[in-house]
Structure 1
Amino acid sequence: MKINIAICDDNKIFCNQLKEFIERYSHDNDTRCKVSSFNSGIELLEQYTDDYKIIILDIEMEGMNGIETALEIRKKNQKVIMWFLTVSEAYVMDGYKAEAFRYLIKPLSYEEFAEQFKESIKWVEEKYVTPIIVEYKNETYHLEEDDILFIEVYGHKLIYHLHNKPITTIDSLKNIETKLSKSSFVRIHRSYLINLKKVKTFNKVEIIMQNNEKVPISKYKEKEFKQAYTQFWGKILG
């Protein structure tokens, strides 16, 4: 996956330093990154696209500052990762209003950058997975993980249970498992694979999904499900 990154800072020297950090990290870790630099929040907003997966913003810029820029971007994109960089800790709480992923103080060493950047790359790879392509009634669907509540095996077919309707196709659950995020999807039965993000509630024998459909838990999978559920939500909420 190629990861598009935007750096927005009115200090060109610091912009270039960050770009060098990203290029060094990409080379050392075999990661494909494309970097675009912007000297103001207005310039970034004028050229902004959803292709950017990580945006690194200086907070104290003339005109539109980094927080204001980030809040405008959040209106268009809730998934993009935001970093805030500044020489002062005074803006920390404001940064979190824009759902900051990281808040780092300048000057920044490469070692500190690389440690935080590694976590951002991991997050991007989990959130921006390749869509699942499904053929259904002579139509082709590109499904994102968040579209899927759970997947059911029915004979030699798979049924994708979505928020608005089910889609049936010919495939195997084993094959689909390899294409989905291992942290979000868990097998709870030989015939069911569920999206942990879409669980409403559960008990020992079944899981109730957000659309109120009930999915049975195999007694052999109960422990595995609970471990996966705890790990997933512990990570998100912690």
Structure 2
Amino acid sequence: MVQVVVLEDRPAHREELMGLLEQWTLADQLEIECAAAPDELRELVRRTPVDILLTDIDLGEGESSGIQLVQELFPAESGTQVIYMTGYPVRFCTEVYQTEHIYFLTKPLRREELYIALDRAVRNLSRREERRIAIQSGGRIIPLSTARIYYVESDRRLARLYTMQGTVESYISLARLLPQLGPAFVQCHKSFLINMAQVTQLESDSLLMKNGDRVPISQAHRKEMREAYLSYLTCRL
């Protein structure tokens, strides 16, 4: 399922958009949640990954704008497909380019344009090297998108998964976890797995990740790590 979040402060506009989404060809593949204010969006992001964000830009006096919220919550590497909506296109037509987004819709919304934007978002999502896994943590089952995991650290029997939504801890071995994560993940140290899609720099004894953390490469894994990363980059060219 595709996780869609709508951020719209006006109830009538929110209702209109929901009606259009329900009539889209792929509506049965969407799980839609709505937020009426920035804090509601922040709460949603804390508990669920967002594949597609449809956000109004002007959210009222004294509130963060949709553009500011995207800068705060959805960095480019998050993979979230951002679609902006506004009744003031001239006012925001340059500011939107401060963030990654795939479409800029003007109000009143036109059905055809909305569906073109959604089609583009779904195509982009289908290209991502992503799978979803379920992690048991503290009596809860937490669904995670593997594309949003930076790396995993093992501390004895405890695995810490460093993700774009925060850190998740689970009692699972790296040997059991690695096959679930997919081909973008490789072991670089007896205590670490890394997502090669989240590496910004490979050095002789460490990797710099997109979240700013540095992960060690052990002597035993150095050759394997370098070959795996070069192969990964070559396949993406």
- How high is the TM-score relative to the length of structure 2? 0.56
2:217 is matched with 214
Residues 1:114 and 2:110 are matched in the alignment? no
Residues 13-60 of structure 1 show CA distances to partners (whole Å, capped at 9, x for unaligned) of x544532343244x736424124264xxxxx23644432524323346
What's the offset of the Cα at 1:84?
1.0
CA contact (8 A) 1:19 1:35 kept: no
Report sequence identity in percent. Answer: 11
In the other structure, the counterpart of 2:44 is 51
- Please state how far the C-alpha of 1:179 moved relative to its aligned partner: 3.2
1:122-172 alpha-carbon deviations (Å, 9 max, x no partner): 599959x5564479xxx99979766763568xxxx8785778xxx996646
Output the amino acid matched with 1:68: S
Query: Is structure 2 residue 18 aligned with structure 1 residue 19?
Result: yes
Larger Rg: 1
Equivalent residue, structure 2, for 1:6 = 6
Distance 1:162 1:47, change over 3 A: closer
Q: What's the C-alpha RMSD, in Å, of the aligned pairs?
A: 5.0
For the residues of structure 1 that align with 2:129 and 2:5, how far apart are their CA atoms?
14
Extract unaligned runs of 5+ from structure 2: 163-168
Distance 1:140 1:11 in 2: 34
What does residue range 6-155 of structure 1 map to in structure 2 within 5 Å? 6-8=6-8, 10=10, 12=12, 15-25=14-24, 28=26, 30-36=28-34, 38=36, 44-45=37-38, 47-52=40-45, 53=50, 54-59=52-57, 63-64=60-61, 68-72=65-69, 74-75=71-72, 82-86=82-86, 88=89, 91-97=92-98, 99-106=99-106, 107-109=110-112, 111-119=115-123, 126=130, 129-130=132-133, 132-133=135-136, 149-150=151-152
Q: Report SS of the residue matched to 2:180.
A: coil
Instruction: Answer yes or no: is the 8 Å Cα contact 2:206–2:214 preserved in 1.
Output: no
Measured after TM superposition, the shift of residue 118 of structure 1 is 0.8
Query: What does the per-residue CA deviation read over 1:165-218, in whole Å, with 9 as the maximum and x for residues that have no partner?
Result: xx9966463x423432x47x3336797742222454235xx6545435224244
Instruction: Tell me what 2:230 maps to.
Output: 226
In structure 1, runs of 5+ residues without a counterpart are 39-43
* Equivalent residue, structure 2, for 1:41: none
- Secondary structure of the residue aligned to 2:151 is strand
In the aligned structure 1, how far is the partner of 2:172 from the partner of 2:214?
24
Whole-angstrom CA distance in 2 between matches of 1:46 and 1:170: 34
* In structure 2, distance between residues paired with 1:200 and 1:102: 27
Q: 8 Å contact 2:21–2:27 — kept in the other structure?
A: no
Q: 1:114 to 1:159 in 2, by over 3 A?
A: same
Any conservation in 1 of the 2:151–2:195 contact (CA below 8 Å)? yes
Query: What secondary structure, in the 3-state scheme, does the structure 2 residue paired with 1:101 have?
Result: coil
Task: Tell whether the 8 Å contact from 2:57 to 2:67 is kept in structure 1 after alignment.
Answer: no
The answer for the alignment partner of 2:166 in structure 1 is: none
1:5, distance to aligned residue in structure 2 (A): 1.3
